[in-house]
Structure 1
Amino acid sequence: MSSLDNRLLEAFEILSTEAKDLYLGKKIYELTELPTSLEFTRDYVGKNLPVVIRGCTLQWPSVLKWNSKYFQSNFPKKEVVVAVTPNGYADGIGLKDKTEYFAMPEEKTMTMEEFLSKLNDSNGLVHYIQKQNSNLTDDFPELVGDIDFSTLQFAEESFNKKPDAVNFWMGDEKAITSMHKDPYENIYCVVSGYKDFLLIPPVDYAFVPRKQYPTGIFKSNPDGSMTIEPILDDSNKKPMITDWVSIDPLKPDLQTYPNFKKASIFEVRVNAGDILYLPSLWYHHVRQSHKCIAVNFWYDMDYDSKYCYYKMIEKLCNF
């Protein structure tokens, strides 16, 4: 490592320490009642700080009635688009012939009844409703009335915009969201079960290793197994490349990536009836309980001074 590299690393360590001491704290902040839009903006959005609001949606019709039995009874023949993987990582790292790929899930259309039966098969492939195209409003319009949107008025007033997407999620404990970040302000509402989040703030970007991977997609084989099919770049017929986090925070390889231990990792469980505000550009890794159901609201981030500051960090880390 050159002297410049050492100086940069020291600077990022100071940034991380100062952030932790001055405003990040040691755990995710929690509220027991909805904030006003002013409080939310001042205390969390303006500081790019996550917060969990406990029990604030317990009276939503969705929280009171949505579960696997409800969907089996009311929508057994409804067609749903399901992400299918052999390892539970839809949009994550997979192996093909000892080569690591960024692998996207195969998408299959099936009835809700068929999907629920797959969730009961503990030895089979992993199935997850996770289509991130505002599938609650587009694919499940009959469910929209079970969400009390007035609860989220504080967020809409703070962001000063409507959500770009409202997404419906349903799966089991084998479905895991690999660590990544999004350019969205995220209001995440667990409806049934719970989600376990690991969060890393943007100031620790330097300690989260990334690599460029050939890109592929899982495809089913006739024998029921799955393999990764490379996605080729039309210009050169070589696999497309995706930049992705190269460490599993559940089993971090600190020998290969020793700086990862310097990252501030926050852990929080979000239960049914809770809302998590996940700020833009925070790394997050998500696990869940069996047959967990959630709804999230994505609001496009503001490309303001925080974003410019983040892009500077990104550039310095990639010299």
Structure 2
Amino acid sequence: MSLFVSVLIILLFSYGQTEGAKERAKNNRASNVNEDSTGSQKTVTLDDDPSLWPGHLQEFGKTGRVHTLDLHRNFPSSVDFLNNYAAPYLPVYFKAAEKNSFPFQNWKNKNYFLRLPQTLTNWVTLPDQNKNISFRKYISHYADKGYYCDQEIPHFLREDVSVPKCLLCQAMVKSLSKHNLWISHHNHSSIIQRRNTDTIKCVYVGRQEVTMISHIEYGEKIPADYKDIDVKHVDYNKYPTLREVEYFKVKVKAGDCLFIPTKWYWQVNSYGKTYSVNIEWYHRAKSVKDSDCKMTNTISNLNSVSFKDGPGSDINKQEIILHYLTSYLTESKNFTHKQFENAIKKDKKLMEDMVEWNDEYEEITKEVFDILDVNKDSIFSLDDLDSLNSRILEDIGGLLEDRIQDYEDLMKDQQDEIKQVEELTAPKDKKSDVDAEKAVQDYLKDYLAQLQDVIHESIDEMAVTGQLPDIKQRFAEKQAKGQIGQKPDDSSTKTSQKNGRSEREKAKAKIKLEREKKKLKEKEDNDLQKEKQKDESFVIVDDSIEEEIIADDEEDIAKKSDKTKSRQDKMKKNDEL
């Protein structure tokens, strides 16, 4: 009996405990009572004064229920990342994913940036200052004064940053939106932000603490003016619904990366000297297979991919050109014009399609040098870059783009000339040989006919002027005007073979001759047009010539008259007989 009573008492007690726990859980769900990170219960309910709620006027996310993130050492595969995290909107932490990266190894050293000449041609906009300064000046003087940098990654630094391996899938590479560089040398707290893109944040120097809120579970609890919330002193009287949200929090150290899903709310605290990069892409792909993520090795850094929301192509091209040419100063501290010309001439990347260096290349290179020689001391050096301002930099970018286009046009002309030579020196079939022989015959026939015309014209002129013109010169003038057929290429004849010139040399000579003839004909046509606008008149060189012509005419008339009279007399005698 006593045993039965004891068991009954235990069961009743357990039931009471269970029901009490259920009731407490029910009350908790009804009132959304928060827990701090230690899990200790708070007795304040949502019906109480919001100012009594734990965390009132404290930092954003300081108290409340906090969830842990999945953790990966290094980046997972693209398929794993997209299917398990990006597509279902779940954050994930990548431990030591960038420990071997170039920025992690080099960006912590200020001298690395100061050695790069491109830091003088890229600009940083100081927040709340309406002031632009060079990247070098920012690193040297302003970063330590509390000014932070929050803008697109400069072109010369994009070569340092690799595309995260978990993004090397065609679906995500094609959806890349933009990138961002954060630099701060002091503690800083960002506002609460929300983006319509997925984001991977990688810290290369220092550390950041990121607090996130799921838009799916708690989007309705976040006020519309969330950007105005004082993250240092969250006012629950003004924003009472914030008491109900739950957080994901993580401390991202140097070499680590964090994935933040699209539309999630997040806020960042940076501590001390911090350098981090954000890479964003549109949330379009929902699932992928291994076959969709066979990326080639051509993708190495951020300069090898395209970002849809980056700067305009023209601006980007100018930035690339200026970055490339100023990189010459990493090899030498200064250049004279001749040294710069030699550097351009040996640049296999810039002059990849150049066939032969000539006067036109020299002229373009001189113009490029004069543009870069900003202080006009006949030396291209860091002093020129140090004297730049944003207005001069914009002008230089446009001028350099035009000169680089001149290089490209000239190289294209040379390549086209090679193609013409190859076509002219290509093996000919029998039909082309027959055509060539006929062309030679036509040319000789035309040549002789025109020569005969020139001789007749010269004789007629001599009859008028009494002087024989220079037939050879007159014939040459007709040739220059294109009135005589062009002599066909006789590279296949025995005579040309005896000259000892190669087919290529003859073809190049022919192309050059054709161009010269074309220019000469254009000049002759212009001169002829001018002559037509004038009144044409025959000028008597000497008065004596006119008298001789008249005397000759009178003598001819007299002779004709005598002949006529003699014929008439003879006919009269015949009639009489």
Question: Is the Cα–Cα contact under 8 Å of residues 198 and 286 in structure 1 kept in the other structure?
Answer: yes
Instruction: State the SS of the aligned residue for 2:75.
Output: coil
Are 1:129 and 2:158 counterparts? no
Return the match for 1:152 from 151, 165, 188.
Answer: 165
Q: Contact 1:173–1:289 (CA<8 Å) still a contact in 2? A: yes
Q: Which residue of 2 aligns with 1:171?
A: 184
Where in structure 2 are the equivalents of 1:99-138 lying within 5 Å? 106-116=129-139, 117-121=141-145, 126-131=146-151, 135-136=152-153
CA contact (8 A) 1:184 1:301 kept: yes
Q: Do structure 1's residue 291 and structure 2's residue 282 form an aligned pair?
A: no
Taking the TM superposition and a 5 Å limit, the aligned residue runs for 1:269-308 are 269-302=251-284
Match of 2:157 among 138, 143, 167: 143
> Structure 1 residues 207, 27: closer, same or farther in 2, change over 3 A?
same
Seq. identity, %: 20
| Cα deviation digits, residues 124-146 of structure 1 (max 9, x gap) | xx422212xxx32xxx2222222
Matched, 1:82 2:125: yes
- Whole-Å separation in 1 of the counterparts to 2:237 and 2:150: 34
Q: Which amino acid aligns with 1:108?
A: K
C-alpha change, 1:147 and 1:279, in structure 2 (3 Å) is same
* Structure 1 unaligned residues grouped into runs of 5+: 1-9, 14-23, 86-105, 212-243, 305-319
The DSSP-based 3-state class of the residue aligned with 2:279 is strand
| 2:196 aligned to which of 158, 179, 183 | 183
Greater helix percent: which structure?
A: 2
What do residues 276-295 of structure 1 show as CA deviations (whole Å, max 9, x unaligned)? Answer: 11110010111212231111
In the TM superposition, residue 169 of structure 1 has moved relative to its aligned partner by 1.8
Choose from 87, 91, 101 the match for 1:50.
91
Query: What aligned pairs does 1:221-300 form with structure 2 within 5 A after superposition?
Result: 244-300=226-282
| Distance apart, 1:174 and its partner CA | 4.2
CA contact (8 A) 1:201 1:283 kept: yes
Amino acid at match of 2:280: W
How many angstroms apart in 1 are the aligned matches of 2:167 and 2:122?
34
Letter in 2 for 1:80: W
1:174–1:108 Cα change, 3 Å: farther
Residue number among 82, 102, 106 corresponding to 1:41 in the alignment: 82
Query: CA 1:37/1:45 → structure 2, altered by over 3 Å: closer, same or farther?
Result: same
CA distance 1:303–1:161, shift in 2 (3 Å): closer
5+ long unaligned stretches in structure 2: 1-28, 33-64, 287-577
1:82, 1:176 → 2: CA distance? 19
1:273–1:303: structure 2 CA closer, same or farther, 3 Å change rule?
A: closer
Q: Out of 100, 113, 124, which is 1:71 matched to?
A: 113
Q: Displacement, 1:47?
A: 1.9
- When normalised by structure 2's length, the TM-score is 0.35
The structural deviation recorded for 1:155 is 5.6
Tell me, yes or no, if the aligned pair for 1:208 and 1:245 is still in contact at 8 Å.
Answer: no
Q: Note if contact 2:206-2:271 (Cα within 8 Å) is conserved in structure 1.
A: yes
* Structure-2 change in CA distance of 1:265 and 1:249 (3 Å): farther
2:201 maps to amino acid: Y
Looking at structure 2, the residues matched to 250 and 265 of structure 1 have their Cα atoms a distance apart, in angstroms, of: 16
Q: Distance in 2 between matches of 1:46 and 1:172?
A: 35
Q: Work out the CA distance in 1 between the residues paired with 2:228 and 2:179.
A: 29
- 1:154 deviation in Å? 3.9
**Inter-partner Cα distance in structure 1 for 2:105 and 2:275:** 12
Query: How much does 1:162 deviate?
Result: 4.2
**Which moves more between the two structures, 184-193 or 201-210?**
201-210
CA separation in 1, counterparts of 2:279 and 2:148?
18
Whole-Å Cα distance in 1 between the matches of residues 66 and 76 of structure 2?
20
CA contact (8 A) 1:207 1:263 kept: yes
Going from structure 1 to structure 2, the CA distance change for 1:269 and 1:156 (only over 3 Å counts) comes to farther
How far apart in 1 are the matches of 2:120 and 2:187?
24
Post-superposition Cα deviations, 1:182-236, rounded to whole Å, max 9, x if no partner, equal 001101111111121111110211222233xxxxxxxxxxxxxxxxxxxxxxxxx
TM-align CA RMSD: 2.7
How big is the shift at 1:273? 1.1
Could you state the TM-score of these two structures normalised by the residue count of structure 1? Answer: 0.62
Q: For the structure 1 residues 246 and 209, does the alpha-carbon distance in structure 2 shift closer, same or farther, using more than 3 Å as the test?
A: farther
User: Matches of 2:171 and 2:104 in 1, distance apart?
Assistant: 25
1:60 Cα offset (Å): 0.9
Q: How many Å apart are 1:256 and its aligned residue?
A: 2.3
292 and 25 in structure 1: CA distance in 2 versus 1, 3 angstrom threshold: closer
Rate the CA distance shift 1:154–1:111 in 2: closer, same or farther, 3 A: closer
**Count of residues in correspondence between the two structures:** 221
Is the CA contact 1:79–1:109 (under 8 Å) kept in the aligned structure 2?
Answer: no
Structure 2 distance, partners of 1:277, 1:158, is 17
